Amino acid sequence: MKSNIKVAVFGGGSWATAIVKMLCENLDQVGWYMRSEYNIEHIKRNGNNPTYISAAEFNPKQLKLSNDINELVNYADYLIFAIPSAFVKGELDKITTSLKGKIIFSAIKGIVPETGLVVGNHFIKHLDIPFNDIGVITGPCHAEEVAMGRLSYLTIASADKKKAQAMANLLSSDFIKTKLSNDVIGTEYAAMLKNIYAIAAGIAHGLGYGDNFQAVLMSNSIREMKNFVKKQHKMKRNINHSAYLGDLLVTGYSVFSRNRMFGNMIGKGYTVKSAMMEMSMVAEGYYATKSAYKIKKENNTKTPILDTVYQILYNGKNAKTEFKKLTDLLN
């Protein structure tokens, strides 16, 4: 039996496309906001997103498509934001209708650059959304494998267990398994940090480091993540759970990882600008690196991997030289 909860997804990229695909398993209609009028018309005619994960097929009659963000905010009870963090504030600034009573889930793996906050905290502090009405959807899960119907796992985090369970029910299917968490802030920071460490993994691969070094890099990354997240939001959590370690591993190793791909190009000698131009999708870790580095400076957190990625991406330091220094700091 399909749910009667009204849900809208905001974003036109691969992760948004995958989430809409999941929701269509359990809802008669799904709201979908994207800026591109061309993509909307293409989906209505052909049943697939022409720009991202075109293999994912939709029944257009199931979709309430619009490039009017306020129309879909008014339509839905649950709002899922999957807009790249670099652009999310610009989209949120378009909202003129009330968000009162709306349940908001972030599927954004990054920090809002203008405020330096993870998306949940941005909603709380700048849009006056109660903490109990905020949730997070995180992995380990790649959008491309969802489109192929491969078994995938999601972590749904919310301080309100009933709301987390409602969202989990909406996203669950034969090929999607869900797990609940109450670590709203921690899972958001972990989702942001794993993209930075995936860039590091990509740089290492591009420089010619092998699997042995990659294993050490990932081992140090999860410990660095643990220390960073603990400084930001201290609570009882097991950093080895899938929402943290699992998401880090799939992003660091997968051929579908945009952040690893971006790092790989940097390691092979691309400039940051040329690597970004080469990619058709946003590498969230690039933007996250600058914000995370600022946070770690404020909290005096020891983060040699983050520091190395920052120096390469933002200070133009030589990747080979910086990684040689990093190898002496890892254990």
Q: Between helices 284-299 and 85-92, what is the axis angle to 10°?
A: 90
Residues in the chain predicted with pLDDT less than 70, given as ranges, are 1, 280-281
Tell whether 115 is covered by a domain.
yes
What is the DSSP secondary-structure string of 128-141? ---GGGEEEEE-S-
Tell whether 239 is covered by a domain.
yes
Tell whether 251 is covered by a domain.
yes
Same domain, 32 and 170: yes
Same domain, 161 and 16: yes
Same domain, 85 and 216: no
Tell whether 75 is covered by a domain.
yes
Tell whether 258 is covered by a domain.
yes
Q: For residue 280, what pLDDT is reported?
A: 66
Q: Is 194 a catalytic residue?
A: yes
Which of these three, 137, 154, 182, is where a domain ends? Answer: 182
Burial group, residue 273, by CB count within 10 angstroms (0-12, 13-18, 19+): exposed
Q: Which domain holds residue 129?
A: 7-182
- C-alpha distance across the termini of the chain, in Å: 52
Same domain, 40 and 16: yes
Q: For residue 146, what pLDDT is reported?
A: 85
Pairing of strands 117-118, 111-112: antiparallel
66: domain CATH number is 3.40.50.720
Q: Which amino acid is at 109?
A: K
Same domain, 82 and 209: no
Which of these three, 162, 182, 202, is where a domain ends? Answer: 182
Q: For residue 3, what pLDDT is reported?
A: 77
Same domain, 41 and 141: yes
Tell whether 2 is covered by a domain.
no
Query: Which residues make beta-bridge pairs with 136?
Result: 106, 157
Q: For residue 31, give the H/E element and its range.
A: strand 30-33
Domain total for the chain? Answer: 2
Q: For residue 1, what pLDDT is reported?
A: 57
Tell whether 86 is covered by a domain.
yes
C-alpha to C-alpha distance for 106 and 121, rounded to whole angstroms: 10
Q: Are 278 and 203 in contact (CB under 8 A)?
A: no
Q: For residue 255, what pLDDT is reported?
A: 82
Same domain, 61 and 160: yes
Q: For residue 233, what pLDDT is reported?
A: 81
Same domain, 215 and 310: yes
Same domain, 86 and 155: yes
Q: Which amino acid is at 298?
A: E
Peptide bond into 140 cis (omega under 30): yes
Which of these three, 131, 152, 182, is where a domain ends? Answer: 182
Same domain, 166 and 196: no
196: domain CATH number is 1.10.1040.10
Task: Identify the active-site residue in 109, 163, 194, 296.
Answer: 194
Tell whether 196 is covered by a domain.
yes
Same domain, 11 and 62: yes
Full-model pTM: 0.92
Same domain, 114 and 214: no
